[in-house]
Each structure stands twice: as structure tokens, then as C-alpha cells.
Chain A
Amino acid sequence: MELWYTEEHTDNVRFSIKVDEHLYTGQSEFQRIDVFKAKEFGTFFTLDGLMMVTEKDEFIYHDMIVHVPMATNPKIKNVLVIGAGDGGTVRELTRYATIEKIDMVEIDRMVVDVCRRYLPQTACKLDDPRVQLFFEDGLKFVRSKENTYDLIIVDSTDPFGPGEGLFTKEFYGNCYKALKEDGILVNQHESPYYESYAKSMQRAHKRIKEFFPICRVYQAHIPTYPSGHWLFGFASKKYDPLTDIDERAWNSLGLQTKYYNTEIHKGCFALPNYVKELLVRAGE
């Protein structure tokens, strides 16, 4: 018998992984949660059937969403993480001794519970004393904050379902308000390749640009996400990730990383022409 997990990346394109074992399935208040075990990707989990994290390639995503802003401003102390129920983003953040406080806001408690049980590789640092978990809507949480954080990381699902509010103008505006005057916003920025993802990416870029004077997009190669070509947004009130990166400071920390390095940091902001064009056209 063969068991395959399949995600439809578009109506006409499918991505499949051969599954060894279906470890868990459950329906939370917000979404369906599944955990699988596979030879090629190890344990992986999906929300409403969409790939979130695999043991094999999660390092790419989590390296890139955390170390790029941290190398830009090593003085970051107070961080807000929105989404990120698998814990991988928090795990990378806790490697910085200089960070004093990490608030993590995940709407779905069940995602965190399931990941603690099946994905200790990413969920292992959720009990760090600097981490405080809030189980509520990120849009609601950030609304009440003003001038509080040095860094906000939006590690969300796609902009439909529970993540929809995290791609809106009101969300980015409230993030702007919640950041200090040298604050940085980094977000999961969808993919430029397939049309429906590209539309979400353009919309997000347009919305963020309305608030932040510095607004850049960087890329990484993530094999299990649609098209494999994934983008992140970097927005800031003060720091430019290309000119303000403190290479010596970051390298002197001696962090062992599997994907990120300061050369990648400088290179990942160089985008293919069609992506640049999409971003320019996002404002239209």
C-alpha cells in the first residue's frame, strides 16, 4: 500500500510526499491539523492540508526570518512573534542571549500543543523563561500595543482562513504603532511564482509600503513551499538591512547556522527581474 500526502499548489499543479505514517489528525476551532511522518522530509505538519513545517527543511525558513533582522540590529531586546505555533522562530530567537523578552501570539492553542508533542525539533524552546505565550488573534493583540517592540516577526499562514487578518492594512498599521522608533517588521511574504500567491505578495508589499519608510523584500529557497521560491518582507522605521548590517558583530556571536550567513544576508535582497517588476507594479 502506498500513502501519499498531496497539496495542490495551483488548480493544475500538485506536490506530493510519500507518507510512512499519519501520526495525528484533529480539528481545532480554526482549522484542521495533521501530522505525518515521511522518509524524505521527516515529521511534517499541515494546516487545512497546506504544508507548514517539515523537519528536513524548516531550518531555511526559520534562519531567514530571524537572523536577517537580528544581524541588522544586534541590539534588539524586545520581540513580538505572531503566528509561529510550531516554535521554530522562537527557537532561533532564544539563541540570542541579548534578547530579553519574546511575546508569541498564536491564535490556535491546539497547533502549539500538537507541535510540542510531535515536533520537539521546533517546539523545544517554547518554555524558555523569556518566552510568554498568548493564545489570541494577532490583530487584536497588536492593537493594544504602542511603542513597545524592537522587532515584530509575522510568521503566519496564508492570507485565507485564520491568517487573513495578518495581511491587512489595519494589521500593518497597528504593527507600525506597536514598534519603537527604530523597530523592524519582518513577515512571511508568500511566493512570487504562482499567480494567486503572487497577488497576496503584491498586496502585502503595497500595504507595508504605505507605513514604513524602508521596505525591502528578500528571498530563500524552501523546497516544500509552492514553487520553492519564497519571499520575506523587511520593513523598518530606521534600519536598512543592506547598509546597516553589522557583519562583525553577528559573526562574533559564533552562532552555528545551516542556511544563513552574512554573505547570504547581502545576497538575498538581490531579486530576479520579474519579482522586481511585480513589486513595482504592486503599487498600481
Chain B
Amino acid sequence: MDLFSQEKAPIYEALQKFKAMRVVPFDVPGHKRGKGNPELTEFLGEKCLAVDVNAMKPLDNLGHPVSVIKEAEELAADAFGARHAFFMVNGTTQAVQAMIMSVCKRGDKIIMPRNVHKSAINALIICGAIPVYVNPGVNKELGIPLGMSISEVKKAIAANPDAKAIFVNNPTYYGICSDLKTITELAHRHNMYVLADEAHGTHFYFGEDMPVSAMAAGADMAAVSMHKTGGSLSQSSFLLISNRLSTGHVRQIINLTQTTSGSYLLLTSLDISRRNLALEGKSIFAKVTSLANYAREEINKIGGYYAFSTELIDEDTVFDFDRTKLSVHTRAIGLAGVEVYDILRDDYDIQIEFGDIGNILAIISVGDRALALERLVSSLSEIKRLHSKDKTGMFDHEYINPEVVMAPQQAFYAGQYPVAIRDSAGYISGEFVMAYPPGIPILAPGERITKEIIDYIVFAKAKGSFLTGTEDMYVENIRIVEE
């Protein structure tokens, strides 16, 4: 990385220059630098509305960049060690979908762990690719899905030598990494692409002593959520590619679904955040890691809770662990993670990322302070003192290995009718059921519904999980595939 050139932020600088030009707007957006919407301008600030502008000559065009966006993309590529970096304004969801659609057509196979984000399976519905699921290991005690073991990946490759790509979470929501380097070597030897979902891995590119990043491991594409831990605005993201893919082809795929009114607020937030991480990332993420380590130590001292970390590493399904993630197992105090999540928010005004059946996850990022972490730790200590219960009767299973009966696209577009979820055992699901967050499907279209899955859904609902995915907003009924 050329540190000297990283001090530039071309989109940001172009916007500043543009503001000084006081151009008279007869283009969109119609709020015309905020004048047409005084209430919004009062709320968000004039500075913000003044740069909510449309693509134009001095500001380049996201769909076909030739000047400042192109330059910003090149700087980002250099910062991430990629051949090219695309600025994404439709979320990492779009980046994930663009990765899959760039290498898979209808009927192509893609090897992936089942604990992918729903955006990956959504891409399969759109493009018609067929998933080959690799069972991620499960940590029985914590009830969380892990990474893919090399032996399972080898098996999947041997059984599906015609697969086009392998999709890897780097890391999972919980911070677990697979052996991405070895998977990449295996994939390339069998002429498959490696796509990495790095929605939670931005810091791998900038911090020291982190799990390997997708680009460093030699993977072909990576979807990086700059906004999750890197400080850019929500919905802004990077798609990185390496040498085996053509920039023009990937750009075409992106343009299939990307807005033609790319937000300059999002673009400039990516530009400024990239500069910040390129220049200061080492010290920022050293601080993040030390805050997370401190919180883990203090939480483990409380007793009952288990804030897990690198001790899970087993060189197999847990090849590496992201120490910036603060994941805490709560079941030993008799509370589901989602219950702790709710109490933190309702009683203590603390919002964490998610709570599932057995765990909570707090995101520690570029914006965190030691004082706020003291509040989290002290609240957890109080929740244990005031709310802990006998843990018998707690559900102890998180990952359920699905039986895939048909491709997601086929099931999604098949004839369907609704039945009550409790009566749905044995049928093929036509839609998703998931708790959001984390947004990892419990059921995906084309999968056989089992009693175990129904029990899990009922339990998660009773504990207050926010279930989504079905057409029925109340998640009482599920649409099943006509057989």
C-alpha cells in the first residue's frame, strides 16, 4: 500500500470543490441542496443536504467511473490489496449477490456453508444456482455454527467437481474463521472461484495480528461491509476482486441491480473511511482488540457468562477467531441470549447487535470507548444478579442441518400454499424463516421442514426472537411447495 497516496480522498475532495462552485441545480434530487425540504434540512443539517447530489461531470458516475470515483476505487483497491475495488451503495447484500452472480449461472453449483447470510441464498433465487451445503461444525456447548473443515470441503469438491465456486464466511457473525488459504488452494486446483463474505471482516485488512483477509489468502472476490466496523455510513460497502476476474464483467453484473442514483453521502463516507483506516487502522484496531479483550476478561470474572475467544481455535472448524467480536454465551445463567438482549435494551438503554438462543453479540468498532464498555459489563453483572434462573429446559441446539430437496429458485417460484407452521412437518418450505439479526436462515426455500425445526422456531419465538422471512408477518403460517 502506498501510504502517501492514501492521504488523498478524491470523492470527498471533489465534493468540497463542487460546493465552492455554487452550481445552480436544475437536475435531481429535487430538494435542491435541501431548500425544498426545510424540515429535513433542519434535522440532517445543511452541510449534509448540500452534497446529496446526482452524478455529474465533476463528480463522476458510479455506473461507469472515469474520474474521481475511478481514482477512489484505485486507492481503495490498493488499501485492501485487491486488483479492483467497487464502491457499493446498495449494501453488502448487493456485494454478496454480485459475487455469486458474477461466477454462477442458472443450474451452476456453488459450495457453501449453510450458515450464510440470507443475501447469499437470495442470490441463488435470483440467478438459479444450486447450493451444495457443507455442514459447518457446531459447537454443542455454545450452540453456534462454526466454519467449514478442510475435510468437509474436500468431500464436497470430490462429489461436485463441476461446482463453479466455494463461498466462505470470513468470519462468521460470531467471529469464527475457516482455513481460507487452504480452501482457496483447493478451490483453485479444481478450477473453482472463492467468494468471501467479509461483511464482518473489514478490520482484517487494516489491523495487526488479525485472521487472514480474503485478498491476502488469494480469494477471488470479497464483499466487505465498511459500514459495520470501518466507520462509513449504513448501506455502504466494498466489493473486492483479484486477478482471475474481469473488472468489466463484474461491473456489468453490479449494474444489473445497482441504483443509477448512487448516493454521494455513501460514496464519500466510503472514501473518507478508507483513508482513515489506511492511515490509522493499525492503532484503531489495536484499541478495538484491547477493549474487546478487556470486556471479555471482566465478563468472564462475573461468572455464569462465557465470553469466548481464541481458546475455541482447533485448526479445523475453528481455524481462527476474530478477537474484536464480543460474543457472550448466556445459557448458564438460565437466560436465552435474546432475553439478555431485550433486558439490556429495555432496562439499561444498551443496544447490542443481536441475541440468539444461547448467545449475545456486541460489536466493538472504530467508534467505541472504554466508559461505554464498563456500562455493558456492569449491566451484565446486574442482569445476572437480578434475573438469572435455573437453566434446565433451555434449548441447547442452534444449528440444524437442512435436507435440501430442490434448488431455492425452483422452490421459490413453484406452486405454493400456506399451512400453519406447527402442522408443516414433512413439507418442503417455499420461503425463508430466520431470526433477524443475525439473518441466517433457519429454513430456506426448497428445504424439508422437520419437527426439530418447528420446535426451534416455536422456542425462538417464545423467547422473543424477531422472526422474519415468511409472507405472513406474524410468522404463524408458512408457504409450502406443492408436491
Contact = CB atoms under 8 A, between A and B. Distances in A.
B385 A140 contact: no
Contacts of A140: 298, 374, 377-378
A74 interface: no
Given A143-B381, A174-B382, A169 B347 contact: yes
B385 A170 contact: no
Contacts of A162: 371
B371 A137 contact: yes
B379 interface: yes
A123 interface: no
B385 A177 contact: yes
Interface of B is mostly: helix
A66 B328 CA distance: 41
A169 B385 CA distance: 13
B348 interface: yes
A139 interface: yes
Interface of A is mostly: helix
B375 interface: yes
B341 to A, nearest CB: 15
A170 B371 contact: no
A173 B371 contact: no
B473 interface: no
A169 B371 contact: no
B386 interface: yes
A137 B349 CA distance: 19
A143 B298 CA distance: 10
A165 B382 contact: no
Contacts of B379: 168-170
Contacts of B349: 168-169
Contacts of A171: 378
Contacts of A165: 371, 374-375, 378
Contacts of B371: 137, 162, 164-165
Nearest to A174: B378
A164 B349 CA distance: 12
Interface string B188-203: 0000000000000000
Contacts of B386: 173
A35 to B, nearest CB: 25
B349 to A, nearest CB: 8
Give the most central of A139, A162, A165, A170: most B CB within 10 Å.
Answer: A170
B42 to A, nearest CB: 16
B381 A168 contact: no
Interface string A143-178: 100000000000000000010110011110110010
A241 to B, nearest CB: 26
Contacts of A173: 382, 385-386
Interface in A104-119: none
A168 B375 CA distance: 8
A139 B375 contact: yes
Contact of B348 (A137, A164, A168, A177): A168
B348 A169 contact: yes
Interface in B200-244: none
A143 B385 contact: no
B381 A174 contact: yes
A120 to B, nearest CB: 30
Contacts of A137: 370-371, 374
B401 to A, nearest CB: 40
Nearest to B370: A137
Nearest to B371: A165
Nearest to A164: B371
A162 B386 CA distance: 26
A139 B374 contact: yes
Contact of A170 (B298, B348, B370): B348
Interface string B107-130: 000000000000000000000000
Nearest to A146: B385
B367 to A, nearest CB: 15
Contacts of A170: 348, 375, 378-379, 381-382
A139 B370 CA distance: 12
Give the most central of B374, B381, B386: most A CB within 10 Å.
Answer: B374
A143 B303 CA distance: 13
Nearest to B385: A177
B374 A169 contact: no
Contacts of B347: 169
Contacts of A177: 385
Interface in A217-242: none
B377 A143 contact: yes
Interface in B339-358: 347-349
Nearest to A177: B385
A186 to B, nearest CB: 20
Nearest to A161: B371
A234 to B, nearest CB: 22
Interface string A178-199: 0000000000000000000000
Contacts of A168: 348-349, 375, 378-379
A170 B377 CA distance: 9
Give the most central of B370, B375, B377, B386: most A CB within 10 Å.
Answer: B375
Contacts of A139: 374-375, 378
Contacts of B377: 140, 143
A211 to B, nearest CB: 9
A191 B349 CA distance: 23
B161 to A, nearest CB: 56
Contacts of B298: 140
A4 B320 CA distance: 59
A168 B379 CA distance: 9
Contacts of B374: 137, 139-140, 165
Nearest 4 CB-CB pairings of A with B: A170-B378, A170-B379, A173-B382, A139-B374
Given A165-B375, A169-B348, A169-B349, 12 more contacts: A137-B370, A139-B374, A140-B298, A140-B374, A140-B378, A162-B371, A165-B374, A168-B379, A169-B382, A170-B378, A170-B382, A173-B382
16 contacts: A140-B377, A143-B377, A162-B371, A169-B347, A169-B348, A169-B379, A169-B382, A170-B348, A170-B375, A170-B382, A171-B378, A173-B385, A173-B386, A174-B378, A174-B381, A177-B385
Interface of B: 298, 347-349, 370-371, 374-375, 377-379, 381-382, 385-386
